[in-house]
Structure formats: C-alpha cells, structure tokens
Amino acid sequence: MDAFASISTFLTHEDIAKASTDLKQPNQTPVLKVVSEAQTKGYDQVCIPLTTENWKNRWTGMCLMPSEENEGERNTEAAKRAESWRGGHSYNREEVTITRLDEAERVTIMVSDWLELDAADDWVRHDAEIALEQELAYASYLNVQTAILPPPRNRSHVASYARIVNSCLNKIPYLNLSIRLPIYNPTALQGAVSSPTSPGFGQTSTRRPSSISSISTTGSALGPRLIISETEVPSTPDTATSDQEDGLESTWEMWDVIRTMCDYSTRLTLALDLTPALPTTLGVLSKWMAESVRYIYLPASTFIANTKGYPVLPKVTQSFIRDTMIHRPTFILASVNAGLHSRGGEAAYSQYIRHLEKTSPVLRAVQRTGTVENFAHGYQDFLQAPLQPLMDNLHSATYQTFEQDPVKYQHYEEAMFRALVDRESDGKVIFCVAGAGRGPLVARCLTAASRAGREITIYALEKNPNAFVTLQDRKQREWGDNVTLLFGDMRQVNVPEPVDVLVSELLGSFGDNELSPECLDGAMRFLKPNGISIPSSYSAHLAPLSSSKLYNEARAGKDVKSLETPYVVMFQAVNILSGDGGGIRGKCGPQVQECWEFEHPRRDPVLNAHGLPPTNSHNARSAELTFHIPHAGILHGLAGYFEAVLYKNVGLSIHPHRKEQVSKDMLSWFPLFFPFKDPLYLPSNSELRVCIWRLTNERQVWYEWHAESFLSITAGPLSTNNDGSLLMSPMSPNSFWSLGVSSPLLDAVDSPSRNSNASMKDGREGGGAGYKLVKIGQTSLHNPGGRSSWIGL
Amino acid sequence: MDAFASISTFLTHEDIAKASTDLKQPNQTPVLKVVSEAQTKGYDQVCIPLTTENWKNRWTGMCLMPSEENEGERNTEAAKRAESWRGGHSYNREEVTITRLDEAERVTIMVSDWLELDAADDWVRHDAEIALEQELAYASYLNVQTAILPPPRNRSHVASYARIVNSCLNKIPYLNLSIRLPIYNPTALQGAVSSPTSPGFGQTSTRRPSSISSISTTGSALGPRLIISETEVPSTPDTATSDQEDGLESTWEMWDVIRTMCDYSTRLTLALDLTPALPTTLGVLSKWMAESVRYIYLPASTFIANTKGYPVLPKVTQSFIRDTMIHRPTFILASVNAGLHSRGGEAAYSQYIRHLEKTSPVLRAVQRTGTVENFAHGYQDFLQAPLQPLMDNLHSATYQTFEQDPVKYQHYEEAMFRALVDRESDGKVIFCVAGAGRGPLVARCLTAASRAGREITIYALEKNPNAFVTLQDRKQREWGDNVTLLFGDMRQVNVPEPVDVLVSELLGSFGDNELSPECLDGAMRFLKPNGISIPSSYSAHLAPLSSSKLYNEARAGKDVKSLETPYVVMFQAVNILSGDGGGIRGKCGPQVQECWEFEHPRRDPVLNAHGLPPTNSHNARSAELTFHIPHAGILHGLAGYFEAVLYKNVGLSIHPHRKEQVSKDMLSWFPLFFPFKDPLYLPSNSELRVCIWRLTNERQVWYEWHAESFLSITAGPLSTNNDGSLLMSPMSPNSFWSLGVSSPLLDAVDSPSRNSNASMKDGREGGGAGYKLVKIGQTSLHNPGGRSSWIGL
C-alpha cells in the first residue's frame, strides 16, 4: 500500500542558524543543508519560517507604538518609515530565510506568527494585512506551494482575520493557504484565570497610543495563546465553566467563520494543531473529519513516554490520528530534535506515526479485499448521478460491477429458498424474475430450487434489448426449459400464467429512487392472490450531514440545479450531525430516521381493467423528521439510505447502524446525498426539522427537501397581573425562558442518558417548565416540480 | 391626489344566490349582477369564491373517509371515483360560480377555503394539492388576475403548504397568488383551551382510516381556526403563556417559510386578515410593512360602533391601516351588508376606509410640497447606484436636482457665517470652495460674508470641465472679482495663497462613500495652520434591515455582484430590525449605530513633499457593531446613514433619529442599502454582530460587510464532581442555561426597561447567572477586494 500520511519536520531559526556554521560546498545554503538532512532522516517535507527576527524587529519598530511616553519624536520617525513601507516594500536579504527556488522546493512555509491579523487595534490589523500580503507574494515568487498562517486568536475579531485571508486568496493566485488552529481552546480547560505561559503574553500592540490591543506580539513555544472573547470573559468563578464549553467548540467556530467568508475556497485548508491534549470524548472531534484538514501539527511535547521511555501518544490522540489517516494528512513534527523523550531519538516520532498509519482501522479496511472500503477506493466523496435503469439501458460492464456483490445475491438466494420451503407443495412453483438483467437472479433461483428440492418454472422478464441477448445465451448454455424469457417492460408485457413468487432487484440507494414502486405496480398483476414479492418491502432513511467536500463538489457543477439534485456517494469527509438520545425535549428521533415504506403487493389497490393503477398518486410520500443536533455544525445536506425486507427476516441494508447485522460487506449501494444550496449553521443542542417529499406526475418522480432549525427553551412558571396580562418580571429567574440544555458540558457529551430525557419529555419536570422551540433558520430547494432532477417513468 | 387604496367587497354564495332570483336581461348572470351592483356602490373590485358547495361535497365524498364504520363498500367506490378524478378532471357547471370571461373581469377569487393544503394526513394533502391545481388552472383559464388562498393552519406542516404554493406558482404562469393570513394567531390570546368557535372545528379529515388529521374541514364565518402546533400544545395552564408569544409571531413565521420556499416570487403576496383584534403594541406589527401586503381582509365584525353607532376601527387598527396606505393595498370588506352596526349602512365601512386614507400621515407627507416624501415620490424602494462624482462628471440636470435642497445650502451658509464671525478680523478672509460645481456654495459664501460684514476672497475649484463653463458665466454675471475660478482636481491644482476656510460638499449617503476623505486630503495643503474645514467631521451609521422588496430588487440584477453592491434608496417597504435598550445582556448598542468618523483637518498626518499623504492607509476604517433584535425577522441588508458637523453646532444628518432636529426637510440624500446575498433568519431577542470595513488600495475604495447572529443564554451556578469535572445534573433547573429573555412577552415589548437591563448587565444578578452567546448563523459577501463594487480614486 502507498503511504497515506506524509511527514514533515518543523525547523526553527535556531536549526537554520546551526546549519550555517559549517557549509562545505560553495553553492550550499543553510536551508538547502537542513532540507537535505531532513530528507536523509526520511522526512517527506520540511516546514520552516519564511521571515527572520530582523523582519519582526523592523516591522514592530515602525508599525507598533512603544508604550513608553515622551517618544513623540521617535514615533513620528517610525510613522514616516511605516507610511513609506506601506507605499511599496521589499525585504532586506537578512529578513528572510529563503531566497532561491531550489531552497523552497520541498518546503512549506510558516508565515510570521507574530502577525496579528485579528488585533483589536484597527491600525495594527491594517499593517499586519499589508505585511501578510508582502510575505505571501514573496512565497509565491519562490514557488512555495503552501503557506501556513498563524492562528486567529480572538473570537470577536475573527471576521477581520477571515476577510484578510479571503482577500489574500484572491490577490495571490495558486498559493495554498492553511490555517493553523488548535483543535480546541486549551486555556479554557485550564480554568479562566490561569496565568499566561509565555512572558510576552498580555502585552498589547497599538499604533496609536489611545487604542488598545489585547493580543501578545510574541508567540510562546506552544504558539500564541487564544483569546476567545475579550469582552465576554466571566468575572465570577461559577461561570468559568462556560469557557469549558467554549473551549471545545470555539476554534471550530472560528474556522467556520473563516472558510465561510472565503466561500469554501479549495485553496484554503486547515493545519490542526494538536499541542493541547485532546479531551477524552471524541464526539466533539468528529466534526473535524468533515473539514479539509491538510496538516496536523504535532510537537514532541504532545507525546508522552511509554514505560520504556519511548514517545507515544495518549489513547484518544492515537485514535483520532488513526481515523484522520484516510484524509492523507501531512504531519508536522516539531521540536523532535530537542530530546524530550529518553529513548528512541528523533526517529522514534515519525516511526510512531507510521505505526499508527499501519494500525489504522480505516486504512486496513481499504486494504482488505471484499470490504466496501476496498471496493469503493478512489470513489470516496465522488458524486455520481443515480442510475436511471428504467430510462436508460445499462451496459454489460455496469451489470458486471454490480454482479460482483458477494452478499446481495446470496441473500436473494436465501430469500427465494425460504419462500420455496414455506410455499405449500402442490407441484411446481412459478417464479417471475422482473428485470432479469444478465440473469444473476435466475441462476440463484435455480440454485435455491435445487437446494429446496422443488420443481420450478421461471419467467425471466427483461426490457433491455442488449441484456436480453445475454439471457438467451445463458438459457441455451445453462438454464434450459425451466426458464422462459420474455422481452419487454414489466408494465406492459404479459406472463402466460399467474406466478407464486415475483422477484425483482430494482432498488436504489434510497430504496424507491430507481422507481421500484412504479415498476412493481406494473408487475403485480402477474401474482397469484396469495403470491409473494421478493422484496416484500423497503424503506428510505435520512440523516443530516456536514461536508465541505461534498458541498464544494456539488457546487462545482456551476448550474444551480447541480445543488438541487441527489447524488450517489461513498461518504468519507462527512460528519453526520444528528445524535441519538431524543434531544432536550426528548422528542427527537434517532440519529438516522425512517422516512417512508413501500410494500408489495400493496393492500386494497384501485386498479383498472388491465390490473394497473390508474394514476401514480399512491406512490407519493412525505416525511417530517426531527433530529437532535448535539454539536454545532454546518448542514450541507442529507444522507439517504435504504433497508429492504426480501423475505421474512432476510434483508438488505445500507442503514449505517444496521448494515453490519443485516447484510455485512454488501457492495452494491453507496448512500444518497441530498445537497442544500444554502448551508445552514446549527448550534449545539439544536433541533433540525427536515421535510422530504417523494412527488410524482404522469411522467416523472422526484424529491424535494427542506429544513428548519430550532433551539429548545424551557419556561418556568409565570405570574400574571390583576388584569390577566402577564407580569413582566425581568429580574425573577423563575420567569426566564431557559435554553433547555442539561449542562453547559452537554455539548461535549454524546449520549445524554435516555432515562433522564424520557422522564423530562412531557416538559413538566424541572420546576414546572414547559418546552418551547425558537426557530433560528431554514434552508430549502428553490426549484420545484422536479425541474432540477427527476426520474423518468 | 390619486387614491392609494382600492376597496373590494367580499360576496358570498348567498349573495350570488340572491342575485339569481330576478335576472332581467337574457345575457345577465348572477355574478355579472352582483359585480355591477358593487360597482354602483363604489367598490373598485369584487371578491368571490370560485367553487360552490357542490364541488366541496363531491370532493369530500371521494377524497375524505367518512368516520363511520362498515362503510367499506362505499369507501371502495369513493376511492375509484377519486382515482379517476386524479387521472383527469373537470368541474361540473354547478360546481363553480363563474364560467365566462366577462364575469371574471373585476373579480378576485377566493380559493375553496376548505382545502387542507397542510393537513396532517398525507393523502388529504395530496388530493388537496390536485384540487388546488385544478381550481387555479380554471381561474387562469378565466383570466382571473389574483387568487387568494386559504390560510395555512398548522405550523408544523407549513413546509408542505409552502411546497404546494411554490409548485402552483411554477405550473400556472401569470396568475398571482395571495396568501390569506391572520395578522397573528388569535386563539393564543384567548387561552389555550378555549372552545372552538364553529361547530365543525375539531373534526378530522382522513383518506385512510388509520391516519389522523387534526384540521377542520369546515370554515367558520371568521375562517378556519389556526392550529399552530399540534404536538407542542402545552398541557398545563402555567405554560399556556408560551402560546401568547407564539400568537404574535407564528403567523409571520409561517409566511416567512412560505415566501422563502417560493424564493420570494413576485407573484406571491399577502392578504392580511384583520379579523382578530390587533394587540395594543404596534412594534410586533411593523414587520408586516416590509412584506408584500397586497390585500387587507377586513370583516364588518372587526369594526366597533362609535358613540353614534357608526362603524369605526379601534385606535391601533386605525394607525396600522393609515401606515399601510403607502403600500397601495386593496381592502376586502366582508359581511358589510349584514347590518352589524346600527348607523351608516353598507356605505359607512368604505367611507371610513377613505377617511383613514385621507388622514394617513404618510400620504399627507407625500402630498405636502417640500417634504422628502413628496420630493422622493416615485423613487421609494428604487435602487440607484451611488454617484461617483470623482470618476464621472455630473450633468447639469443632476446639479439642478440637488441644488433644489432648501435646507442643505442654508446650513452651509449658516456655517460659513459663523466661521466668519468667529475668525479674527485682520482684513480679508480667504475661502476656498473645493468642488464648486455650478456654484451654489460660492453664492452662499458671498451672502454669508455680506451678512457678517466681512471682506472675503473665494477661490472656487472645479474639475468638471462642463460645470466650469457655468461657473465662468456666474462669475461674469453675479460674482465679480472676489471670486477666482481654478480649474482642476483639488488633489493636483494649486491655490495662490493659504486659505482660512475650506468649504466642500463631497458627502455621500454614508458620509465618506463619495470619497470626501480622499479629496479633502488633497485640499488640506491649501489651509492655513489654524484653518477651518467645513465640514469639520462626518460619521457613518448603520442599522440592520428587512425588506423583501429591496432583496428582490437587488437580485433582479441577475449578476451575483448586484447583491454585493451598496445602493442609494428611499426606503419604504423596509423594517429596521434592531431595537434600543441594550438587549438581554445590556451590551448591545442603540437601534442605529455609528461606524466611524472622519475629521478635517486630520491630526499629525504624515505628508510628502507636496503636502499629500504618501498612501491612503489612514482612510481605512472598520467597525464591529452589536445590535439587539427584539422581534424575529429576516436580515436582508444594512441601512447606511451619515451625519456631518459643518461648523460647531451646524450640521447635516439623515440619521433617522436625529435628522428632524439637525436638518429637517433636507432632500439631498437617501439612505444607503448594503444588501446581503443570503438572507439571515433572526429570532426574537437575538443579537446581531455586524462587521463593516472601509478598504482601500492605490486606485479604489470599497466596503465589505459581514454579520453573525447569536442568542444570549444565561447560566446558573454549576456543581463539580470530586475530580473537578462538571457534574451532569440534567434535572436541576439551576444548572440550566437559560435563554436570557426577561419574559415570554418581551417579544411583544419594544423597549425593555433600561434600568433593569443596566442592573443586569454584569450578569451577576438573577441567581448568579452569567451570560453566554450561542452563535446561530452568519451571512457575508463572497467577493472580496472590491471586485463587486468600488469607488475609483
């Protein structure tokens, strides 16, 4: 197997300085030397800062005001130099680490991490933007592929940071930008009043004496500390816990603002910084799987020593990194030459990453033949238009692909076998295979009969004139007289005698989306009154999902309709947003919910003289589903699945919770993806109400979908005035509507106890509180009537 | 003045039946007769139901299941008839009221109000949709212009209603649809357990015995009652008040879902039903002003009797209707021939509406010469690209329009007069009018000098070569030698001597948006060290707004850039979403907030040898503003205003709260509208954080803007476990985060007491609760770097 992960080493100014002491060849440079040494050590890439302390000193000297007084003269001089720099600028040779194309070849650059793109001071921010543009333009000149930006540090100014990044993406073509971001805010879990870890922290940068910036200009070894909200920091100890919740969500929230303002640019990625130790629950981390994580920054300090003294990672981090492997990240190992661990030396860190790669369950599944992951490799997150086998005649190669499924046909055979065994034995059992294709079900039917020791006749119907030739060939070579071939559409053709068992494989990823209900309506007239349909029923299931990748893929179609069409997709960079547990009010359904079901034969149908339904009205369906959203995320669409009962307890399922039990390793169906044109922000503990309709007219079937989001709040008892009007009592906590969150840390908890929710679901516990939903957003299709996409009848 | 309102009468089946008894002419029909009678009575239009009881009986008979048992035989028969109808349908003659084109000429039709487009039962809804399509297609055949749909009745199924309306808008071209909707949910204010007002209420419609619909099929005289939420109705009396809040917002919330799912179709309007008495606070009603209210349905029962027995409307309703007049609504008067009031007869109702029209303050303002409303008449909600007087040379007609302003030049004269009076009197005072245009400021300057008895010299600069001819003409005819004309751009031209007072009128609607700061930077070098600039400063102000009209107008540009460009607009169908009072946390600013300010001359500028600033960096600005949103609404954009200080306390302002005091009846500036491409839903009591940037490079100036929405929740004290982790106590009300709403009725209150908010703003009152903001949404520009729109330097 190819390596999925790349490994890069992060070299500091000191490393480069050391290398400059004994340069042997005349054309050698310190950077070339460290890069070549890193290659020798087996690193794929090198990560270095582009600018030096000299540049920091020059910039700081002209753009930041010293805080001492009586510096008017010096300030005026600095202001003049700054204004001259703003008008046009170049680095001095000593202000940058790289000057040559060959030096930059295997290098990812770290942008000056003291640049405060989200400074509170307008003027500092303004000059930081100019400095960033200068640095990125220089990197671009050197053909650098990717620049890693210093993290946003201030939640309340992140929009300014985002605007600057967007501006740079647009001004500097080709260059990829990656935002370095701690996976969560580590300071929050250390308590709100912990002291700063670096001496420079807390210093403020200003250009004008009267304005105040709350950001440090010097980064510590762990990178600059985050300030999540300068104005909202609670001043009393008992509210400090709000920061704990913030900590787990706020860095993602900043990333979300940035990538949204950058309109999901494909040149913008994440460099996740694992400097802070991960929390013990992984639920809150799963959202990163749906983001474009390109780098993982991993300093030696994140490693712990195992009993032998070798560097290893904590269990949660191991697990997170193993899961991340599928996204082919580049690990940036920092300070690995500092000797932090007693055994193994520098090599031990990258060896350990390779060990995690080898033991990654997702990568193992990809390697193991027979798994869906292996079968689908290369198709992850690739959008395919669903097949329309009714309108189109499939190619032999398509049949070939689907006939490879090791599970589906075995289950069909088992269903036919059991149906045969159950069928009263008065002679031959008549089968009809409706939609025989190239004949796999016919063959399985014959095997089932021979296993059951029953005589059968099979009528094999097929409307694809090309596949019909294959069928004739197989009849002649393999099947003989027990099989009768009939050419034509099952809604028109006639079968010579009533049949006991009607077998079909017309299911799509969403069950009914390849028009199985409509086709079988046309074939039910063949069945004896007590006849059996295999499948006997199937249902469609939905869950809300987040995926920047799928959203971008769907948008790539340019046409607005491409964002209003369902796609078949093997999900990878996808996060299912819903959770189990009923939500705050205890009224939400499970993570994945059933939309509707079709049964065959249907009960009490109205039929015309030909045994056909006069209209297709009865195949219209709709569903309203309410999902609990435990963690904040962006809704990009809906994941669609199906489950089918073939016969009694033999089934097929791609339902994520049940497929392993029902039809493990079945390959034929990837899920369906229903995109939303306008992504919808969902806060932690919100509820999402999804409506989906299966609609039909004389010629077409199509789906429409819509979502509304709500926050659930609780109401305490209220008093009334004498006149019956409500008493306004803003100071009484009992009259507050409260957001019905069990605890601020619920956000970090994935499965609230079902018992406690169940006992609350009537909304009468908790001081007589009732529940009320506050609407907070919505998104929907704009193209009705199947204009965007439909399935032809 | 033309009439703004139209008046229609709503005629019932009984009215039509009565008319059919004595038809005189052979070609006369009952409908022609009632229409002609209505015209005679002075009505502009007639509103009648299109279908009759016969159709209702047929449809109900086949599409709804009778609830009695043992009706299997009849049900099968009905199911067959229904299926045949679904396949193809026509009305029988007796099932409709109108059959001829001439009958439909002045008629608006009311769609069968028993159609349950939002029935809980899928099948009832499905057949109601087919029946609606049939009815609208028939109306379209008869050339009916507008059909009024029965109201949505069920909040939880409104998405289905909306989907059907959208489908009909797309299937049936040209026909306008208007949604009849009570202005709020009246049942909520009657208490949750009030008994139904019509005998049929509570009956359920089903097509399948196993399914349940919670909607009545029969409408009362007041129309069918709303069911806001069938599953959320609180069962205990102390939570009944949640319905009170729902009542005021929920019908708007339903309208919002419908018009959003219909993608703001211009063929979709509202027929506001004023059957329920209006609440006493108008704040919650103002949102309707930003929606496309086309009809106002007003039954005689809404009128009260005055002391003489004549029908009049309650004060709040009067006021609401007067305000509505500007939108040119059609009033549909119902039951006005029923004799509900003792005096005045049928005519009294429409006479009263005409009286309200005549006494409408907005219409009076439109009629009065000299008001902005009169001046701007015809330009309301019309989007204009802002002028770019620096890049473009204005036409004489444009100057002419702006010179009409009766206030602006008077204030300029007053400012110049006071500056002259204040100026130490050692001889001549030197003026420079920078951007003299056709000379209005030069003339005022001369007047001011003569009033002050001071000798002056005026240098009049103008870069528009065409206007410069006019200036030469005026100098020769009117001004003489005290005025020296200089041709050229104020950033390049030289003035022969240092000036005392620099006068300019370069302001745009947002203050700096016509590049006054940049132009004056170029002219400041003319000033003596202690010289004066008129204006001496100006500031830009913002407020968030909702307006379907403006959103649609901005979208009409097709190009995505048209939604990322600011426009000059005279606001009319606009609702400012923000409120005063600081919001729940007491940390929000006022309704309209200042973004930034420019001062002239600026302090301590860095200048080059020519006295010009080397770069334009110092004119970059940014602002972060936090708004309190008292009532739910859709954010469509931002309203921009300016305020300028000309000299000391002489100013100009279009700030909505201050313009009356500062510069009443000034006509020259309409506000600026910054649109958002993606509308953002804002719930009641949310906070909106707006970022706006004024950006610049060597050639351009532009704005970018961004908004994030939040709900504020309060946290009670929390307990911790022994290990320091948070105790999960979902059952303890004290550990809940609570939505920081003072009361459920706060939603209907526009100015929460400042005192109580102030005392809470530290978040330590109310049981030690702190505040926390939960992010719920965002919207922003996608085109950075001025790509969408910019102002050329």
pLDDT at residue A781, rounded to an integer: 78
Q: Which residues of A touch B691 (CB under 8 A)?
A: 159-160, 163
Residues of chain A positioned with their CB less than 8 A from the CB of B83: 606, 613-615, 617
pLDDT: is B63 or A23 the higher one?
B63
C-alpha B160/C-alpha A346 separation (Å) is 63
Name the minimum distance, in Å, from the CA of B64 to any CA of chain A: 15
Closest Cα in chain B to A681: B777
B633 bridge partner residues: B682
DSSP string covering B59-124, please?
HHHHHS--SSSS-HHHHHHHHHHHHHHHHS----GGGBS--STGGGTTEEEEP-TT--TT-SSHHH
What's residue A26's pLDDT? 79
Q: Which residues pair with A504 in a beta bridge?
A: A434
Is the pLDDT at B758 greater than 80? The verdict is no
Q: Could you tell me which residues come within 8 angstroms of residue A342 by beta carbon, excluding any fewer than 6 positions away?
A: A305, A309
- Interatomic CA distance for residues A610 and B673, integer angstroms: 63
Sequence-ordered list of residues with C-beta below 8 angstroms from that of B677, at least 6 positions apart, any chain: B560, B563, B564, B779, B781, B782
**pLDDT tier at B166, thresholds 50, 70, 90:** very high
Lowest-pLDDT range, A630-644, A682-696, B369-383, B603-617? B369-383
Quote the minimal CA–CA distance from B71 to chain A in Å. Answer: 14
Of A632, A733, A772, the CB nearest to B766: A733
| Minimal C-alpha gap between A239 and chain B (Å) | 6
On the question of pLDDT at B198 being above 60, the answer is no
Is A743's CB within 8 Å of B718's CB?
A: yes
The per-residue pLDDT for B556 is: 87
For position B375, what pLDDT does the model report? 85
3-class state of residue A668 by DSSP:
coil
Nearest Cα residue to B340 out of B366, B315, B365, B310 = B310
Q: What is the DSSP string of B573-613?
A: S-EE--BSS-TTTT----SSEEEEEEESSPSS----TTSS-
Interface of B with A in 706-725 (CB under 8 A): 706, 708-709, 711, 713-718
- Taking the C-alpha atoms of residue B404 and residue A734, their distance in angstroms, rounded to an integer, is 59
Contact A71/B at CB under 8 A: no
- What is the pLDDT, as a whole number, of residue B226? 40
Q: Is the pLDDT of residue B271 over 50?
A: yes
CB-neighbour burial class of residue A22 (10 A; exposed 0-12, middle 13-18, buried 19+): exposed
Predicted local distance difference test score (pLDDT) of residue B1 = 54
For residue B620, list chain A residues with Cβ-Cβ distance below 8 A: 122, 126
Q: Coil, strand or helix: which one is B774?
A: strand
Closest chain A CA to residue B745: A726
Which residues of B are less than 8 Å from A780 in CB distance?
Answer: 159, 260-261
CB contact under 8 A, B615 and A159: no
**Closest partner CB to A777 (pick from B261, B744, B777):** B777
Burial readout A734-760 (b: 16 or more C-beta within 10 A, e: otherwise): bbbbbbbbbbbbbbbbbebeeebbeeb
> What does the pLDDT read at residue A250?
81
Is B264 an interface residue toward A (CB < 8 Å)?
A: no
* Cβ-Cβ contacts under 8 Å, A745 against chain B: 726, 728
Q: pTM score, two decimals?
A: 0.88
Write the CB contacts of B440 (distance below 8 Å, at least 6 apart in sequence).
B403, B409
Residue-wise pLDDT tens digits, B506-542? 999 999 999 999 999 999 999 999 999 999 999 999 9
- Per cent of chain B over pLDDT 70 is 82
Chain A residues 82-141 with a CB less than 8 Å from chain B = 83-84, 86-87, 122, 125-127, 130
Of A726-735, B148-157, B562-571, B588-597, the one with minimum mean pLDDT is: A726-735
Distance from CA of A785 to the nearest CA of B (A): 6
For A733-760, the three-class secondary structure string (H helix, E strand, C coil) is HHHCEEECECCHHHHHCCCCCHHHHHHH
Task: Please give, rounded to a whole number of angstroms, the shortest distance from the CA of B75 to a CA of chain A.
Answer: 11
Residues of chain A with pLDDT under 50: 188-204, 208-245, 715-769
Q: State the DSSP H helix or E strand holding residue B414, giving kind and residue range, or none if neither.
A: helix B408-422
Query: CA A218: distance to chain centroid?
Result: 35
pLDDT at position B775 is: 92
Determine the pLDDT at residue A416: 97
Chains A, B: CB contacts within 8 A come to 316
Q: How many residues does chain B have?
A: 793
Q: Across chain B, what does the average pLDDT equal?
A: 84
Please answer whether residues B181 and B251 qualify as being in contact, where contact means their C-beta atoms are separated by less than 8 angstroms.
Answer: yes
Q: Judge whether A37 counts as a catalytic residue.
A: no
Q: What value does the mean pLDDT take over residues B712-724?
A: 46
DSSP-derived pairing of the beta strands B6-10 and A791-792: unpaired
Nearest-CA neighbor of B649 among B450, B407, B419? B419
Higher pLDDT, B576 or A20: B576
Neighbour count for residue B513 (Cβ, 10 Å): 23
| Between B488 and B239, the higher pLDDT residue | B488
Residue tagged active-site, from A514, A564, A687, A704: A514
How many beta carbons lie within 10 A of that of residue B140, not counting itself? 16
Report pLDDT for A246.
Answer: 57
* Residue to substitute from A74, A194, A776, A779, interface B, most B β-carbons within 10 A: A776
Give the whole-angstrom CA distance, residue A61 versus residue B42. Answer: 81
